[in-house]
Amino acid sequence: MARFFFNFRQGERYTVDDSEGVEFRDSGEAYLGAFKAAQQMWSELLSQRQDPLLCAFEIIDGGGNSLFILPFSEVLDACRGRASVAGGAMPLPALLQALESRRIAQQSMREVAQALDSARATLKETMILLKRVNRILDEP
């Protein structure tokens, strides 16, 4: 089980989920949990005369990485028989697969960035050592 946090955006307001988070098996289940929460909040927002279309959840993993954003408009899209991702219609299983692929790609990009940082540090250290060796070799 992994821990996920649901940061909330309503128009210009952004609220960070500072709770202990919610445990789900994977990002697909976290998406479904966020979707269910958005459905539950929809009628409450309307009764308070607030526009749910201005709302979204940003789902964050336990490491503080943003996994995806669930605009509440997806609740309306689901009522119309479609789920949207990146502006196009996509069935829910494909959407979940796309979200998982995105999460994996983001993790891979973080690992590549860390490897590059490590390689740069090693290269910098190597250059310093080579300068020292050259200085020693240049001494009479």
SS (H, E, C) 126-137: HHHHHHHHHHHH
Q: What pLDDT is stored for residue 87 in this prediction?
A: 42
CA 19 to chain centre: 17
Tens of pLDDT, residue by residue over 109-118, are: 778 888 888 9
Q: What pLDDT is stored for residue 79 in this prediction?
A: 67
Q: What pLDDT is stored for residue 85 in this prediction?
A: 46
CA 104 to chain centre: 11
- Residue 81, sorted as left (phi over 0), alpha (psi -120 to 50) or beta, turns out to be left
* Alpha-carbon gap, residue 4 to 31, rounded angstroms: 10
Q: What pLDDT is stored for residue 125 in this prediction?
A: 94
Q: Which tops the pLDDT comparison, 93 or 38?
A: 38
* pTM for the full predicted model: 0.57
Q: Residue 123 — pLDDT band, cuts 50, 70, 90?
A: very high
Q: Which tops the pLDDT comparison, 25 or 105?
A: 25
Q: Residue 59 — pLDDT band, cuts 50, 70, 90?
A: very high
pLDDT higher than threshold 70 for residue 6: yes
| 17 phi and psi angles, rounded to 5 deg | -75, 100
* Alpha-carbon gap, residue 107 to 85, rounded angstroms: 20
Tens of pLDDT, residue by residue over 61-100, are: 998 988 888 888 887 776 665 554 444 445 555 566 666 6
Q: Which is nearest to 45 in space by CA: 12, 88, 11, 5?
A: 11
